[in-house]
Amino acid sequence: MKFSAHEWRGHFPLLANHPRLHYLDNAATGQLCAAAFDAVTHHELTQRANVLRGTYKLAEAADAAYEQARRQAAAYLNAASADEVVFTSGTTAAINLVAHAFGDTLQAGDEVVLSLAEHHSNLVPWQMLRGRRGVALRFIRLADDGRLDLARLDEIVTPRCRLVAVTHASNVTGAVSDLVPIVAAARAAGARVLVDGAQMVQHGPVDVAALDADFYAFSGHKAFAPNGVGVLWGRAEALAALPPFLGGGGMIGRVTAEETTYAAPPRRFEAGTPPIAQAVALGAALDWLRAQPWEAMRAHTTHLAQRLLDGLAVLPGLTFLGPREMTERLPIVAFNLAGIHPHDACQVLDAHHVAVRGGHHCAQPLMDRFGVEGAVRASLAPYNTEADVDALLEGLKDAQRKLK
């Protein structure tokens, strides 16, 4: 199938309403696609009601839409069953769910393996678990190009390891993790595997069956859907082994004054009123994305990222964080300009209608590894064009003229 970035851009109302905007902050938030916008509008106008136990037609319609969204998310992930999909408020909530529910099964001396590339959302919950349960944290180091250094994996994933929790792709360097040896090491130790997929899902459907992980987390707002919704996928037997995280309505089997029995997954982990309309919109966005020509779209974003890398390479005083080549990486490019703070560079770029992000990107251990406080980050999506890349490069030249 052919692909046109200009045509694809037309499916995003905000971009259509801001034709001068060069939006290159997609690793933080993707723009809302029309499929998601239409779905949430239709839901709120025609079937807004709470889910579970409603016996009137409006509530039954809301139930049906919510469960359809669960099936759509399962299809996008190639999950074995829709019951393996738990709706959360986002990646952070999904990881915290596992950190509490699975973490409550751990004891002092058990180990959790992370990497220095992790977003704080896949680091802080495990540090908090260490404080509660006395578990030990071990870290996969980073090579000089920002990729995970797996040379000592067998030493890091010991028989005391109970969980390996790693990013599918770095939100700073764009490097895609080599999960095959990581999963193999975890399996050899009898450990579970959690993958933070926040940066991966917007780049095409994910096959959790092929990954052979136990848990996979992502956020809707990075996949061209609304804020406030995300997914924790869990292998059926892995979810069934977990105690609940939050208590309340919707997650129970039977409640008496003395005790409570709990519902089976996924309901066990969806206490209270879920983000119904957001989930419906996420399902619609994932269905729309699943039908896209991803091979052509990836070729397009790879071309743009290479154009950006080539343009940045000739700027004086520029240093990269991450791989310089486009193999096994996403179109996320982080860099610094000598003598210019990332925030200052971003402000100059904003005057050129270029939206990028500067700072530590919730990845301070990664920044520490490279001896910097932060970086400018440009992150591309299929609706971006060569004009967006060129505007960024011109804006950076202007920043060097004004700020050095």
Q: Which residues are catalytic?
A: 362
DSSP symbols for 74-136: HHHHT-S-GGGEEEESSHHHHHHHHHHHTGGG--TT-EEEEETT--GGGTHHHHHHHHHH--E
CB atoms within 10 A of CB 321: 26
Write out the H or E segment, with its range, that includes residue 252. strand 252-255
DSSP class of 25: B
Structure tokens at 252: 């129970």
Distance separating alpha carbons of residues 229 and 219, to the nearest angstrom: 6
Which residue from 235, 239, 308, 294 is spatially nearest to 268, judged by alpha carbons?
A: 239
DSSP class of 264: P
Which residue from 391, 366, 374 is spatially nearest to 308, judged by alpha carbons?
A: 391
**C-alpha angle 52-49-91 in degrees, rounded to nearest 5:** 70
